[in-house]
Chains A and B, each alone.
Chain A
Amino acid sequence: MTAREDPVVSVQSLKTYYHDDSIVGAKPPVRAVDGVDLDIREGETVGLVGESGSGKTTLGRTIIGLADATDGVVEADGQDVTEFDAEQARDWQRRVGMVFQDPEESLNDRMTIGEIVQEPLKAHDWPVLTVAVEGDATVRGSGVRPAEPDETVDLTVGLDGDVTVRDELPLSADAVTAAVDRSGDAPTVDVTVEKSRAEIRRDRAFDLLDRVGLSEQHFYRYPHQFSGGQRQRIGIARALALEPEFVVLDEPVSALDVSVQARIINLLEDLQDEMGLTYLFIAHDLSIVRHIADRVAVMYLGNVVELGPTESVYADPHHPYTVSLLSAIPGSGSPWTGERITLRGSPPNPRDPPAGCPFATRCPAKIRPDDYDLPERTWRALDELRVVFRTRARAEASAAETIKRLIGLDVAGQDLRETVSDLLADHDLPPAAQSTVDAAVELAAGGDDDAAAEQLREAFGSRCDREHPEPYDGGEDRTSQCLRQEAEYDGVAETIRARQEDEP
């Protein structure tokens, strides 16, 4: 288990909602991140996986301050990042970096590679060299300032005028002179740096290119002269320019061929070792996450539904969504040994997430009520019927349909009955269940799809439809947001396997 050190970043009950800016027809906000707790510990790589639209990227962006949190806390060094004022935010941006997915779009084609890599350096007026003096002294000089306690020291000056420069900086000690004046009460040190800021920045850019496996000659070229893999290296060099502690890697290899992918992954691992970086690695490719991440967070519809050490989660997933994701990995890369689980449909609309468990609408291990004893496939057909009603309730009727309704044509109703009989064709419902379904269909045919869905929910809904599960502690540094973690229920994998056996 990773040592429980202070996290670099601690995300607590974080919510990020996107509101529409339009004045007319204001829709409910998109709940991109909807209550996430996640600690990211020093030096580790947390893999963040989930489908598109699950909120992975928004979570990453909110942590580094590129998106505004709606609620909750992102804590770093005891301070809340979401409450930072402009100056604090600038400071925070120096300490974090981001690498974007598409190397074709994230680099400005009109800038040379040298300019691109130096851009963050210029934006932050880098370098302002921090000076520490052995003993108490006042520091003066342009482009330098006294180091704060606990801050990285760039120049160390002895009272005899000796100067040491931090290794990371492209500056030799010969280019720095320190004049010590002991005439006052406390000594004063005048620091002069012979090398201009522009020169230091340029040399820093050369260093960075070298670090990511490019060379000096690339400095003067333009992005279009590079392959996808090389462009991603440039993106990485830019993200590392200000020596961040924490880097969000947003699908950094998704657009690359596998052979190029492997090289970028190796580079990221090397850089992490050399520079002591902490990574949040966002990806939808679970094999890559298994390779690079110490811990994995599985996201679904704005929630982290499972979190734990990667190997442990892959070997024994606790959440049904994790099981489904792992089983969907094509080929022999999947750690799931059973039959592949094919999730029905796509994730619900994040403007209108389910009231209970966000995964309840697609869950292969959903808890079923005790009122009826139905085979799982019948339960699913009933769930699907409810989804049909819900979708109809939310879709805007087309003009043609509205007219058909106005002139009394029951086209929609007829189609609906067909759909229902198709869905329930080879299922035997007990009479009580059948009459509930019939009543719901009548409601929907009459135009009240909402009431129809509600009726089905009351009769056939499960605990999962009503209750939003809190993260359960699964031991071994793991949590899972699934009601099946409660002792009274069968386990997730067990349930899925049993249901698969029942329904070939």
Chain B
Amino acid sequence: MSDEPLLSVRDLEVVFHTERERIHAVDGVTFEIREGQTVGLVGESGSGKSVTARSILGLVDEPGRIEGGEILYRGEDLTEDNWADHRGDIAIVFQDPTNSLNPVYTIGNQIEEALRIHQDLRGRAATDRAIELLEDVGIPDAPRRVDEYPHQLSGGMAQRAVIAMALACDPDLLVCDEPTTALDVTIQAQILDLLAELQAEQDLAILFITHDMGVIEDATDWVNVIYAGEVVERAPTEALFDHPAHPYTRALLESIPGRTDPDERLPTIEGEVPTPTGPATDCRFAPRCPEAFEDCRSVAPEHVSLDGDRSAACLLHDPARSDGGERQ
């Protein structure tokens, strides 16, 4: 394993142009993934996490445009239209398996197509490999199921088939965009186990995008918390859960029902996630932040390095501006 990250996203800017305004859906997002690592990107709807995922694959469509920053894959900037060169290196699994599969082709056909494109496998060899992949993702009776159509599979099985398809191109990085959100909790557990297994076997790096803090806690080594297009905190997973440094992370963790005594009211975050329509001139969380002070409304916070190789974009951690610099 080299010291160079497998993927390094730096100051990524994705802007959506609508008739009335420019929406900065992703506004200066920076994070890294090393080989074999699982990195989480967690945030609420509208935070820009899915747009970030799609950017990495070069899948941002009009009216969205990548307008700044770099996406370095093994040091090579993908945003200079290099996606085609790395098409097989990065694969994506989306939330709803039924939307990722074509209903008129068998599972086998679809995996074989991926194998033909990425591995130049055809005929019997492709079919055999497709069966192997289905077995790898834990689909029982694979030789038979390879001839089935997507509607014949349950949600969990369909998501396994989608993962098999993603693995067909033998990727180094798997981007999982809410891969278990549409699934039941027991099936979610199966898929999380499967991803962990695949990772151990194939030294796969995984970018895990979700709104579910529990999934983040189970599945990732490292987390980036994203709010209104900006990463507001990054930390090793355990450290983040033990000592969230950003007030938004704290609020997010507190609002999970399992962490509050059932007899108490759930702590809430008032207000809504803002839509960033211009460059940040303040802390975007300040209007909802219980700890905001005056500077928060006039200064866009930079990331402040904290103990343990982590950082948070919050003035509370900026010793020059806050007397609470040591808090954690």
How many A residues touch B, CB cutoff 8 Å?
Answer: 54
- Indicate if the CB atoms of A266 and B143 lie closer than 8 Å: no
- Indicate if the CB atoms of A259 and B255 lie closer than 8 Å: yes
Q: Beyond A325-B185, A331-B215, A331-B217, is A419–B268 a contact (Cβ under 8 Å)?
A: no
- Residue A269 lies at the interface, judged by CB distance under 8 Å to chain B: yes
- Indicate if the CB atoms of A290 and B258 lie closer than 8 Å: yes
- Residue B266 lies at the interface, judged by CB distance under 8 Å to chain A: yes
A325 vs B208: C-alpha distance when bound (angstroms): 23
Q: How many contacts A-B (CB < 8 Å)?
A: 140
Which listed residue, B135, B186, B192, touches A51 by the CB 8 Å rule? B186
A269 vs B262: C-alpha distance when bound (angstroms): 11
- Residue A26 lies at the interface, judged by CB distance under 8 Å to chain B: no
- Indicate if the CB atoms of A331 and B218 lie closer than 8 Å: yes
Measured CB to CB, the nearest residue on chain B to A255 is B45
Measured CB to CB, the nearest residue on chain A to B194 is A342
- Indicate if the CB atoms of A259 and B193 lie closer than 8 Å: no
- Indicate if the CB atoms of A284 and B185 lie closer than 8 Å: yes
- Indicate if the CB atoms of A259 and B251 lie closer than 8 Å: yes
Measured CB to CB, the nearest residue on chain A to B251 is A259
A interface footprint on B15-43 (CB within 8 Å = 1, 0 otherwise): 00000000000000000000000000000
- Indicate if the CB atoms of B189 and A342 lie closer than 8 Å: yes
Instruction: List residues of chain A with CB within 8 A of the CB of B313.
Output: none
Instruction: List residues of chain B with CB within 8 A of the CB of A330.
Output: 185, 188-189, 192, 212, 214-215, 217-219
- Indicate if the CB atoms of A287 and B258 lie closer than 8 Å: yes
- Residue A328 lies at the interface, judged by CB distance under 8 Å to chain B: yes
**Which residues A276-304 have CB closer than 8 A to chain B?**
284-288, 290-292
Residue from B219, B251, B262, B269 with most neighbouring chain A CB atoms (10 Å): B262
A227 vs B45: C-alpha distance when bound (angstroms): 11
- Indicate if the CB atoms of A287 and B212 lie closer than 8 Å: no
Q: Beyond A261-B255, A290-B258, is A266–B266 a contact (Cβ under 8 Å)?
A: yes
A284 vs B213: C-alpha distance when bound (angstroms): 16
- Indicate if the CB atoms of B185 and A290 lie closer than 8 Å: no
- Residue A263 lies at the interface, judged by CB distance under 8 Å to chain B: yes
| One of A125-133, A143-151, A191-199, A384-392 contacting the partner | A384-392
Which listed residue, B135, B186, B219, touches A324 by the CB 8 Å rule? B186
Instruction: List residues of chain B with CB within 8 A of the CB of A423.
Output: 140
- Residue A311 lies at the interface, judged by CB distance under 8 Å to chain B: yes
Instruction: List residues of chain A with CB within 8 A of the CB of B154.
Output: 346
A497 vs B42: C-alpha distance when bound (angstroms): 33
11 contacting pairs across A/B (C-beta < 8 A) = A259-B252, A261-B257, A262-B257, A262-B266, A265-B257, A284-B185, A329-B185, A346-B154, A346-B187, A388-B140, A401-B147
Residues on A close to B: CB < 8 A?
Answer: 51-52, 227-228, 257-259, 261-263, 265-266, 269, 284-288, 290-292, 310-311, 324-325, 327-333, 340-343, 345-346, 384, 387-388, 391-392, 395, 398, 400-401, 412, 415-416, 418-419, 422-423
